[in-house]
Amino acid sequence: MRYPTLKWMSDNVLASALPWSYVLGEWRELLDEVQALNGPGMSEEWSDVTCCAALWAYEKGILPGWFPLLPGFGLYAARKFTARRAVWARIFDHHGIAFNKRYLVGGGNYAKSRKVIGALGLAGCSQVDLAWLRTENLCVE
């Protein structure tokens, strides 16, 4: 898919509807990058903000599902979020659990160990192999 639509992202990537607080969190991250004058960080966070805001607007019925995420307006983030699914499947497979996006209600950034612990916990896993996650450079915080 060249340009994923909002409906496709909602149906295939998101675990649940994004709350406005999530969009505000992405906005704060963008402001942090602006204050740091970090050009690459600003670009990435801009994409996160525009993608998440568009998804929020779609879920509220403001934007239509056919609306595509485009270069400069969420496409980078959409591709990043979509690519994370394969890594999540690998993490779940290592723990002997079938992956389902519904477990990612706490967020999809597997670099944050709290999100991995939360997702695996929702799937019924009580023993998270943090050493493996760090060895594989999956969890860095």
What is the rounded (10 degree) CA torsion for 55, 117, 87, 11? -30
Provide the mean pLDDT of the chain.
95
Determine what percent of the chain is predicted with pLDDT higher than 70: 99
**Residue 141 in this model has a pLDDT that exceeds 90:** no
Alpha-carbon span 88 to 120, nearest angstrom: 10
CB 141 within 8 A of CB 113: yes
**Residue 45 in this model has a pLDDT that exceeds 90:** yes
Mean local confidence (pLDDT), 2-16? 95
Alpha-carbon span 132 to 78, nearest angstrom: 27
Mean local confidence (pLDDT), 16-41? 96
Neighbours of 20 (CB within 10 A): 11
For 98-118, the pLDDT digits (tens) are 999 999 998 899 999 999 999
CB 87 within 8 A of CB 30: no
Q: What backbone phi and psi angles, to 5 degrees, belong to 15?
A: -80, -30
Residue for token digits 């670099």?
A: 111
For 52-64, the pLDDT digits (tens) are 999 999 999 999 9
**Residue 7 in this model has a pLDDT that exceeds 90:** yes
Query: Where do the DSSP E strands lie in 34-75?
Result: none
CB 87 within 8 A of CB 72: no
Residue for token digits 């969420």?
A: 74
**Residue 1 in this model has a pLDDT that exceeds 80:** no
